[in-house]
Amino acid sequence: MWADPDGIELQLFQPPAGLVTAAVPSTLDAQKDGLVSPMGLEHVVLLVNDVEKSLPYYRLVYGDGAVGKREGGRLWLNLEKSTRIGLEKVSDGMPRIGHYAIRVAPFDRAAVSRRVQEIGGKVLPSPDEPDVLRFSDNNGIIVELKPQA
């Protein structure tokens, strides 16, 4: 584990350890109380002080071939299995994870929205991605659920 120029730590695991196995079927029965079925990590957006200063660090980890296109102020790194990391300049000077998105099987949007609100979260608008359910949890962490057909 080591930190990028902003102190955001990255932990690397040799597969199949750690988060690599999070979307792999297991003996854990999550069907009884989960309203969504995760299929994998879609993306994580990291808010950094300087995208250009952070980029060499991420190139070291993922290689030059991972550097993708820029969309607005965000630079995308394309990883395996359609997972991406977005680097974006932080607006308030506090580097952090901006949000993360999980690819999920189709789900009942109304039921998940109700449950998010019942447990103290807040459903957020997502006009840029109408198929995505965006919400903040009770700690203010923004999560996106992106249905995969």
Specify the pLDDT at position 4: 73
Specify the pLDDT at position 20: 38
Taking the CA atoms of residue 57, residue 79, residue 133 and residue 138 in that order, the dihedral angle to the nearest 10 degrees is -40
Specify the pLDDT at position 133: 96
Where exactly are the structural domains of the chain?
37-147
Which of the residues in the chain have pLDDT under 50? 14-22, 30
| CATH top class, domain 37-147 | alpha beta
Q: Which two tokens stand for residue 126?
A: 């997502």
Q: How far apart are CA 56 and CA 137, in angstroms?
A: 32
Contact status, residue 106 vs residue 67, Cβ threshold 8 Å: no
Q: Residues 34-58: pLDDT tens digits?
A: 788 888 899 999 999 999 999 999 9
Helix (H, G, I), strand (E, B) or coil at 92: coil
Q: Which two tokens stand for residue 130?
A: 């109408």
Specify the pLDDT at position 53: 93
Specify the pLDDT at position 26: 54
